[in-house]
C-alpha cells in the first residue's frame, strides 16, 4: 500500500471497470467468444440449415463428411450437424437451468447454515444426508415415478426437461452449500461484518451487502462446474435410456447412439464429445474471468 | 572489530503485473562480529526483502537482485548455487521469523525439529543430536527441557514457540542471526523475555545479530548500531545513541517524533495531541480537559463463552472472558483498558453494545440500561455508541465503495435521500481529512491509515456519544499511528466525544487517556487516573507490565537482565466454578486496586 495515490483520478462507472478487467483476461475473453458462438449456433442454426434433425433419409445413411453433410450422417441417414445443433439446444438449456437451480439451493442452504449458528447443525446434517444418497439409483427412481405425470402435464419433451433439470438440481447442490458455508463462517468473524452489526445493520442486509458479494467467487466456481455437471449428468441419463425420448437429440443421446458404431465410425463419438468439452472448457474460463472482474481488488488502479 | 557480512550497492527489483518496481535501492551496510545491527523502517521499506536476499530466500519469479553483492566471511555469497548455500543457511547464518505460530511444523515434536538442524549440519548420531537439542532448549530457558522436547508445537505457548525457534536458529552456533520482527506478534511481557534472551545469547556466544523491526522502542533497547530505511533506501546510519539523540535526516526525525515514549506524559494531567514534524503541522497543541459528568457506566459486567461438546452439543465448560468489571466513562474523556492478549479487553468492548451477550451486569448509557433492552431497542441504542476496530484491512468490506460503507449506518437509521447522504458524508470525509473524491473508491485503493480514517468516519456518522476503539492503531505504522491518534484527540475536543480505548500498547495509552484500567484474566486489577497508574502502580501485575514495556530511549535499557513473568493461567473453568466477586481497595482519589485473587 502506498500513500501517494492519484487523488484526482476520475471516478469511473462500475460496469466499465468490470468490462475493462474482464477484457484484460485473454483466456476469459476467448472462452466468452467460444461459448456465445456455440449458443448462437445452436439457437439460430436449425432455422438456416436445410436438414431437419429427425429427417430420415435411409439412402444416404452412414455417410462420411461431405459438402452436403459436413459432419456426415448416422445409421438412419439423419444429418449429424442438424442433430448436433438441436441436441446442443437441449444440453445447454439443461446445463444452465440445472446449474441455476443447484446454485440457488446450495447458496441458500450454505449462507443460512453459515450465518445462523442455530440452523447450522440441522442444515449440514441434511446436506450430509443428500451426499450419502446413492445418486444414480435415486435419479432412476425419480425418473420412473415422475415421468408419466409430468409428461401428461407439460407434454413429453417439456415434462422431461423439467424432470431432468429438477433432479439434477436437487442432487448436485451439496458441494456448493459446503463451500459457501465454510466461506460464510470465516467472513462472519471478519471485522467488517461486526462493524456493520455495530452500526445497526439488520441480518438481511448484512447477508445481502456484506456476505453475498464476498462469497461470489466460490459460487462462480461452483457455477462453472455446475453447468458441466448438468450436461454430463444429462448425457449419462440419456446414455442409460432414461432421459429424453429416443428420437429427441441431445449431446448425450448422440454420444450414446454413436457408441454402437464406435468401431466403424469413430468420428461420431468425436463430434458430441468435442462439443461437450468445448462448452465446459469455455464456461470454465468465462467463469474465471468473471470472478476476477467482479472483485474490485483485481481491477487495475 | 572485523567485518563479518557486508552488503554493497544492493539493488532489488520486484516484477509485478503493472511493471518493475525498485524495492531496494543501492543499499550498503555491514555487520561486525558480535554486534547488533538494528534495521528500522515502516512497512514496505524493503527491510524483510533485504534480509531474505542475504539468505537467497527471495521468491525467484517476482523478486530479483539486479546488481550489488553480498560478502560473508570475505566470500561473495550472492552468486552461490542453492546447494552451496545450504551449508551456510542455518549453519553460519540463521534466521528467526515473525510468526512463531506458523514457523514450526505442527506434525513433529519440538525436540525433533531442533535435532534435525543439528543432524543436517553437524553429521552426528541421532542420539547426540537429541542431547544437543535438549542442551539448546535449556539454553533458551525452556523449563524442564527433557520433557518439553517431546511436546508438539501446539502444546506450547507463543513465547515458548519463539524460544524454540531461537534454539533452532542457534543450533549450529551461527555467526550471524537474522531476526525479522521476532517479537512483533508477541505480548509485551513475552517480548521483554525474548529480547533479554537474544541479548544474553549474543553476549554468551558472540553471535552478531541483524535485528529487523518497525518498533523504535525495541531498536532503542537492542541495537548497537542502527540503519534507517525509507522506501528501499538507507537514509541514515549511526550508533543507537547518535540516531536517537541527534538524528540528522528529516525522516528519522519525524519517525522519532511520532513514537510515543513511555514516561513523557508523567508531568501532564491531561492528554494532548503529539507534535509531529513535517506536513505543515503547526496547530497549537492544547490539553484535552473533558468533563466530570458520567456518560457510560458499567457495573459488575460478566461475560462468559460456552464451550460445547459431545453428541448433543451440551455446554461442557465456560471461558470466563470478563469477570465482574465496573467502570465509568466521563463525557469528553478517554478511559483506556490495557492488558495482554486474552485478558478480555476486547470482549468488554463487544459486550457493551451486545455484539456478544454478557452473562450479567448493568451498562448504563445516558441513564438507560443497555443490557435490559429488547433486541429491537438495542439497535437504537447502538446509534449512540459506535465501534472502531483494529484491523483496517479487515474492517471494511472489500466489495463496496467507500461512500456506501460510510453511508451504511445512516441508511440503517432511515436516511435515504441522496442529497442529504452526500452532504453528510462529504462533511464526514472533511472531518477525517480525506478528499471527497475518495467516495467512489474501494478499500484496497487506500493505505492503512486512510482506511482507519474511513472506519472512524463510519463510526462518527450517527453522531454517537461514545466510541469504543478496539486497538485502533496497532495495525498501523508509527507515523500513521500518530496521525490517527491526533485525529481522534482532535475529534474528541471538537465533538465532545468519549472514548473507551482498548489497547495493549502502554505508551499509546499513556498518550491518549484520562483514566486507565489494567486488565488481567478477565478482571480489572487496577483502575484510576492515568498519572496515578503510571507513576504509582500498586498491583504487582501493573508493575510488571510497566517494567516490560520497551522505552524508545537507548539510555533507559531494561533488557540487560533476564526476565521471567508468570504464564497466563487458563480462563476455562468447568460449570461448577464460582469465582469470587471483585473487591477493591482505595489507594488514592479514584485509584482502586483489586484485592481479590486474580491468578497473578
Would you call A194 and B461 a contact, using CB atoms and an 8 Å cutoff? no
Would you call B389 and A297 a contact, using CB atoms and an 8 Å cutoff? no
Distance (Å) from the alpha carbon of A23 to chain B's nearest alpha carbon: 15
pLDDT of residue B502: 93
Cβ–Cβ under 8 Å, residues B343 and B521: yes
pLDDT of residue B598: 78
- Which of B43, B413, B449 comes nearest A200 by C-beta? B413
Which helix (H) or strand (E) covers residue A201, if one does?
A: none
A203 close contact with B: CB closer than 8 A: no
Best residue of B352, B399, B460 to probe chain A, by most A CBs closer than 10 Å: B399
SS3 B236: strand
SS3 B564: coil
Best residue of B308, B309, B346, B408 to probe chain A, by most A CBs closer than 10 Å: B408
Distance (Å) from the alpha carbon of A138 to chain B's nearest alpha carbon: 30
Chain B residues in contact with A217 by the CB 8 A cut-off are none
Cell of B520: 488481567
Would you call B447 and A7 a contact, using CB atoms and an 8 Å cutoff? no
A192 close contact with B: CB closer than 8 A: yes
Q: Which neighbouring-strand residues pair with B39?
A: B212, B227
DSSP symbol at B177: E
Residue B490 φ/ψ, nearest 5 degrees: -60, -45
- Which of A3, A200, A210 comes nearest B382 by C-beta? A200
Residue B212 φ/ψ, nearest 5 degrees: -100, 130
SS3 B331: coil
A153 close contact with B: CB closer than 8 A: no
Give the ranges where chain A is alpha helix by DSSP (H). 14-24, 26-48, 80-115, 117-132, 135-154, 156-171, 174-188, 191-198, 203-205, 216-239, 251-259, 267-294
State the pTM of this model. Answer: 0.81
Which helix (H) or strand (E) covers residue B534, if one does?
A: helix B530-535
Would you call B398 and A210 a contact, using CB atoms and an 8 Å cutoff? no
Would you call A296 and B440 a contact, using CB atoms and an 8 Å cutoff? no
Would you call A198 and B382 a contact, using CB atoms and an 8 Å cutoff? yes
Chain B residues in contact with A3 by the CB 8 A cut-off are 447, 449-450
CB within 8 Å of A101: residues ≥ 6 apart: A165, A166, A168, A169, A170, A173
pLDDT of residue A1: 36
Chain B residues in contact with A301 by the CB 8 A cut-off are 18, 445
pLDDT of residue A12: 53
Would you call A296 and B444 a contact, using CB atoms and an 8 Å cutoff? yes
* Domains within chain A, CATH numbers bracketed: 17-43+77-299 (1.10.3720.10)
Spatial distance between the Cα atoms of B320 and A118, rounded to a whole number of angstroms: 23
Residues 457-476 of B with CB under 8 A from A: 458-459, 461-462
Which helix (H) or strand (E) covers residue B46, if one does?
A: none
Cell of A261: 458404431
CB within 8 Å of A277: residues ≥ 6 apart: none
B387 close contact with A: CB closer than 8 A: yes
Residue indicated by cell numbers 444429418:
A79
Residue B303 φ/ψ, nearest 5 degrees: -130, 130
The interface pTM score, or ipTM, of the predicted complex is 0.74
A209 close contact with B: CB closer than 8 A: yes
Cβ–Cβ under 8 Å, residues B195 and B559: yes
In this structure, chain A runs to a length of 301
B386 close contact with A: CB closer than 8 A: yes
Chain B residues in contact with A214 by the CB 8 A cut-off are 397-399
B481 close contact with A: CB closer than 8 A: no
What are the average pLDDT values for consecutive 10-residue runs of chain A, which has 301 residues? Answer: 40 70 83 90 80 72 71 74 84 88 92 89 90 83 82 80 86 90 89 84 87 85 81 78 77 79 78 85 85 73 42
What are the average pLDDT values for consecutive 10-residue runs of chain B, which has 600 residues? Answer: 86 82 89 91 84 84 86 85 82 83 84 88 88 89 86 83 87 88 83 86 88 90 91 89 91 88 81 72 71 91 85 81 92 92 88 89 88 84 87 85 90 85 91 87 85 91 91 85 90 91 90 92 92 91 88 77 71 84 87 85
For residue A64, count CB atoms less than 10 angstroms from its CB and return exposed for 0-12, middle for 13-18, buried for 19 or more. exposed
A15 close contact with B: CB closer than 8 A: no
Cell of B224: 548497537
Q: Do β-strands B466-470 and B498-503 pair in parallel, antiparallel, or remain unpaired?
A: parallel
Chain A residues in contact with B44 by the CB 8 A cut-off are 1-2
Cell of B511: 498518550
Residue A186 φ/ψ, nearest 5 degrees: -70, -45
Would you call B387 and A7 a contact, using CB atoms and an 8 Å cutoff? no
- Which of B440, B445, B461 comes nearest A301 by C-beta? B445
What is the C-alpha R_g of chain A?
23
Spatial distance between the Cα atoms of B516 and B522, rounded to a whole number of angstroms: 15
Chain B residues in contact with A7 by the CB 8 A cut-off are 435, 437-438
A204 close contact with B: CB closer than 8 A: no
- Which of B313, B355, B394 comes nearest A192 by C-beta? B394
Chain A residues in contact with B397 by the CB 8 A cut-off are 192, 196, 209-210, 213-214
Q: Beta strands of B80-232 (E only): which ranges?
A: 93-96, 176-180, 208-213, 225-230
Report the candidate in B351, B367, B349, B368 with the shortest Cα–Cα distance to residue B359. B351
A191 close contact with B: CB closer than 8 A: yes
SS3 B64: strand
Would you call B390 and A2 a contact, using CB atoms and an 8 Å cutoff? no
Report the candidate in B510, B461, B456, B466 with the shortest Cα–Cα distance to residue B332. B466
What's the distance, CA A288 to chain centroid?
14
Chain A residues in contact with B380 by the CB 8 A cut-off are 200
Would you call B386 and A199 a contact, using CB atoms and an 8 Å cutoff? yes
| String of DSSP letters for A240-272 | TT-SS-TTS--HHHHHHHHHTTTTT-THHHHHH
Separation in Å, CA A200 to CA A114, B178, B457: 20, 47, 15
B147 close contact with A: CB closer than 8 A: no
Amino acid at each position: 500500500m502506498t500513500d501517494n495515490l492519484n487523488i484526482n483520478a476520475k471516478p469511473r462507472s462500475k460496469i466499465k471497470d468490470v468490462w475493462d478487467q474482464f477484457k484484460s483476461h485473454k483466456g476469459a475473453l476467448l472462452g466468452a467468444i467460444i461459448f456465445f458462438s456455440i449458443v448462437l449456433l445452436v439457437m439460430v442454426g436449425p432455422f438456416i440449415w436445410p436438414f431437419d434433425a429427425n429427417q430420415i433419409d435411409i439412402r444416404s445413411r452412414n455417410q462420411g463428411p461431405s459438402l452436403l453433410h459436413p459432419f456426415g450422417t448416422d445409421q438412419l441417414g439423419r444429418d449429424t450437424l442438424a442433430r448436433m445443433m438441436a441436441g446442443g439446444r437441449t444440453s445447454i438449456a439443461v446445463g444452465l437451468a440445472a446449474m441455476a437451480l443447484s446454485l440457488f439451493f446450495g447458496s441458500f442452504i450454505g449462507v443460512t447454515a453459515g450465518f445462523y449458528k442455530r440452523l447450522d447443525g440441522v442444515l449440514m446434517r441434511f446436506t450430509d444426508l443428500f451426499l450419502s444418497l446413492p445418486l444414480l439409483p435415486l435419479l432412476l427412481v425419480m425418473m420412473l415415478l415422475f415421468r408419466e405425470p409430468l409428461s401428461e402435464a407439460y407434454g413429453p419433451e417439456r415434462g422431461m426437461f423439467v424432470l431432468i433439470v429438477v433432479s439434477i438440481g436437487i442432487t448436485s447442490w451439496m458441494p456448493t452449500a459446503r463451500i459457501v458455508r465454510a466461506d460464510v463462517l470465516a467472513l462472519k468473524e471478519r471485522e467488517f461484518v461486526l462493524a456493520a452489526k455495530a452500526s445497526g445493520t439488520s441480518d438481511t442486509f448484512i447477508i445481502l451487502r456484506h456476505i453475498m458479494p464476498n462469497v461470489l467467487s466460490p459460487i462462480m466456481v461452483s457455477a462453472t462446474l455446475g453447468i458441466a455437471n448438468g450436461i454430463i449428468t444429462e448425457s449419462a441419463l440419456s446414455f442409460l435410456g432414461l432421459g429424453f425420448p429416443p428420437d429427441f437429440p441431445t449431446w448425450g443421446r448422440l454420444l450414446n447412439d454413436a457408441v454402437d458404431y464406435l468401431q466403424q465410425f469413430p468420428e461420431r463419438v468425436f463430434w458430441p464429445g468435442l462439443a461437450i468439452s468445448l462448452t465446459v472448457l469455455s464456461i470454465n474460463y468465462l467463469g474465471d474471468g468473471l470472478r476476477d472482474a467482479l472483485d474490485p481488488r483485481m481491477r487495475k488502479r | 572489530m572485523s567485518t563479518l557480512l557486508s552488503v554493497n550497492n544492493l539493488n532489488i527489483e520486484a516484477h509485478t503485473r503493472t511493471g518493475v518496481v525498485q524495492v531496494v535501492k543501492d543499499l550498503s551496510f555491514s555487520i561486525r562480529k558480535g554486534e547488533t545491527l538494528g534495521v528500522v523502517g515502516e512497512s514496505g521499506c524493503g527491510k524483510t526483502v533485504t534480509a531474505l536476499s542475504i539468505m537467497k530466500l527471495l521468491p525467484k519469479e517476482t523478486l530479483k537482485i539486479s546488481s550489488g553483492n553480498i560478502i560473508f566471511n570475505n566470500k561473495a555469497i550472492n552468486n552461490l548455487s542453492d546447494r552451496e548455500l545450504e551449508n551456510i543457511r542455518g549453519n553460519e547464518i540463521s534466521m528467526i521469523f515473525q510468526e512463531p505460530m506458523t514457523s514450526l511444523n505442527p506434525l513433529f515434536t519440538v525436540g525433533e525439529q531442533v535435532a534435525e538442524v543439528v543432524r543436517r549440519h553437524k553429521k552426528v548420531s541421532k542420539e547426540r543430536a537429541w542431547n544437543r537439542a535438549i542442551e539448546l532448549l535449556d539454553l533458551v530457558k525452556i523449563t524442564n527441557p527433557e520433557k518439553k522436547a517431546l511436546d508438539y508445537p501446539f502444546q506450547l505457548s507463543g513465547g515458548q514457540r519463539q524460544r524454540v525457534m531461537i534454539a533452532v536458529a542457534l543450533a549450529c552456533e551461527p555467526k550471524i542471526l537474522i531476526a525479522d520482527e521476532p517479537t512483533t506478534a508477541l505480548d509485551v511481557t513475552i517480548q521483554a523475555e525474548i529480547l533479554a534472551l537474544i541479548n544474553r545469547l549474543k553476549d554468551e556466544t558472540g553471535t552478531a545479530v541483524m535485528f529487523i523491526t518497525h518498533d523504535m522502542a525495541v531498536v532503542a533497547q537492542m541495537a548497537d548500531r542502527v540503519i534507517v530505511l525509507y522506501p528501499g533506501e538507507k537514509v541514515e546510519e549511526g550508533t543507537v545513541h547518535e540516531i536517537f539523540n541527534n538524528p540528522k535526516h528529516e525522516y528519522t526525525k519525524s519517525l522519532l517524533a511520532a513514537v510515543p515514549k513511555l514516561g513523557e506524559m508523567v508531568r501532564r494531567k491531561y492528554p494532548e495531541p503529539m507534535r509531529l514534524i513535517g506536513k505543515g503541522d503547526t496547530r497549537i497543541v492544547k490539553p484535552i480537559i473533558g468533563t466530570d459528568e458520567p456518560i457510560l457506566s458499567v457495573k459488575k459486567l460478566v461475560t462468559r463463552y460456552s464451550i460445547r461438546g459431545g453428541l448433543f452439543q451440551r455446554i461442557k465448560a465456560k471461558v470466563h472472558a470478563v469477570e465482574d468489571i465496573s467502570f465509568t466513562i466521563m463525557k469528553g474523556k478517554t478511559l483506556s483498558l490495557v492488558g495482554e492478549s486474552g485478558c478480555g479487553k476486547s470482549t468488554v468492548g463487544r459486550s457493551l453494545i451486545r455484539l456478544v451477550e454478557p452473562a450479567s451486569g448493568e451498562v448504563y448509557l445516558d441513564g438507560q440500561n443497555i443490557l435490559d433492552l429488547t433486541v429491537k431497542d438495542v439497535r437504537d441504542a447502538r446509534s449512540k455508541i459506535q465501534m472502531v476496530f483494529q484491523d483496517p484491512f479487515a474492517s471494511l468490506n472489500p466489495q463496496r465503495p467507500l461512500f456506501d460503507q460510510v453511508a451504511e449506518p445512516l441508511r440503517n437509521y432511515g436516511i435515504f435521500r441522496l442529497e442529504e447522504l452526500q452532504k453528510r458524508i462529504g462533511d464526514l470525509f472533511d472531518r477525517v481529512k480525506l478528499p471527497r473524491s475518495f467516495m467512489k473508491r474501494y478499500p484496497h485503493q487506500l493505505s492503512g491509515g486512510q482506511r482507519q480514517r474511513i472506519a472512524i468516519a463510519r463510526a462518527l456518522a450517527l453522531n454517537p456519544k461514545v466510541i469504543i476503539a478496539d486497538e485502533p492503531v496497532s495495525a498501523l505504522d508509527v507515523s500513521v499511528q500518530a496521525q490517527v491518534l491526533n485525529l481522534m484527540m482532535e475529534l474528541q475536543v471538537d465533538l465532545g466525544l468519549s472514548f473507551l480505548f482498548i489497547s495493549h500498547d502502554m505508551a499509546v495509552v499513556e498518550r491518549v487517556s484520562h483514566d486507565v484500567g489494567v486488565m488481567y484474566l478477565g478482571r480489572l486489577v487496577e483502575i484510576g487516573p492515568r498519572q496515578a497508574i503510571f507513576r504509582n502502580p500498586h498491583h504487582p501485575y501493573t508493575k510488571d507490565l510497566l517494567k516490560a514495556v520497551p522505552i524508545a530511549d537507548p539510555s533507559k535499557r531494561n533488557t540487560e537482565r533476564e526476565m521471567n513473568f508468570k504464564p497466563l493461567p487458563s480462563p476455562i473453568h468447568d460449570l461448577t466454578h464460582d469465582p469470587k466477586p471483585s473487591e477493591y481497595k482505595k489507594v488514592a482519589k479514584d485509584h482502586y486496586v483489586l484485592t481479590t485473587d486474580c491468578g497473578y
